[in-house]
Amino acid sequence: MKARIATRRSPLARAQAALVADLLVAANPGLQVEFVPVVTAGDRDRSKPIEELGERGVFSRGVQAALLDGRADIAVHSYKDLPTAPLAGLRIAAVPVRADPRDALVSRGGEGLSELPGGATVGTGSARRSAQVRAVRPDLRVHPLRGNVGTRVAKVQDGELDAAVLAVAGLERAGLADAIADVLEPPSFLPAPAQGALAVEVRTDRSDVERWVERINDADSRAAVRSERAYLRDLRGGCTVPAGALATVDGEELRLAAGLFGDGEDPPLTLRGRVTDADALGRQAAARVLAAREQAAQ
């Protein structure tokens, strides 16, 4: 048995694909894996903010194409990079145990967000992170930042920036956890929907591969991400919308914190429901956030 795994070429993407490969081999004795590196639209243009690249799925479409044209059997994505609308012919067969979903601050002097001096420059390529940093510290300067995790950390360490906001999971998977100066705690600082989760995608006509992959699915992680993604989907946006959400599962209960960030945003809301109602809870959160926005605009 052999499985070809499509992944982006970045060090973080390769590390994530290797994590999935290890899980697959452990769950399917005798399975052999090989990797199919792919360059995506987001990899080709690292100068523009993601919001200006003009398409959804800038980090995922190329990897999905490798599945659809038969170059690969399995695709591994950072789940937060996937558009909320599924692609015909493909399905998410597994969400492995989720890593830490929170954001972190990397700073040159080891300061936390509250300790940075006024006027310090904080790098991020995310509209959501930019809005939340400005809400907490309006005296800081937010600077656009793209590139892989190592490049972004290096720009802080080399003095080009005073600090940067990155995902805890990405830093840990890239072997850069020691660079974390401050973990930005929810619900006051909400991560992107599905942050820290991996999506393992297969073709709908490959039931054999689907069986291999389903063995590494974690039900609680999948339910939490499903709720967050339903929230994002009903906001009618993709991964570039400045929305934050974090769902946690406790037994049969699911708790969802959600917000939409920008000028004059309302505080994040928190809803509770049953795990089996994960999608409905996300849709309910989106409806409440949109209704509040419409009322404020009147």
Catalytic residue list: 81
Query: Residue 126: which residues within 8 A CB-CB, separation 6 or more?
Result: 50, 165, 192, 242
DSSP state of 266: P
* Of the candidates 235, 216, 248, the residue with the CA atom closest to the CA atom of residue 31: 216
Report the distance separating Cα 285 and Cα 283, nearest Å: 5
One-letter amino acid for residue 165 of the chain: V
Report the distance separating Cα 51 and Cα 54, nearest Å: 7
The C-alpha angle with vertex 140 and arms to 139 and 142, in degrees rounded to 5, equals 140
87, two tokens: 């692609």
One-letter amino acid for residue 259 of the chain: G
186 contacts 102 by C-beta, under 8 angstroms: yes
DSSP class per residue in 70-138: TS-SEEEEEGGGS-SSPPTTEEEEE-PPP----EEEEETT---GGGSPTT-EEE-S-HHHHHHHHHH-T
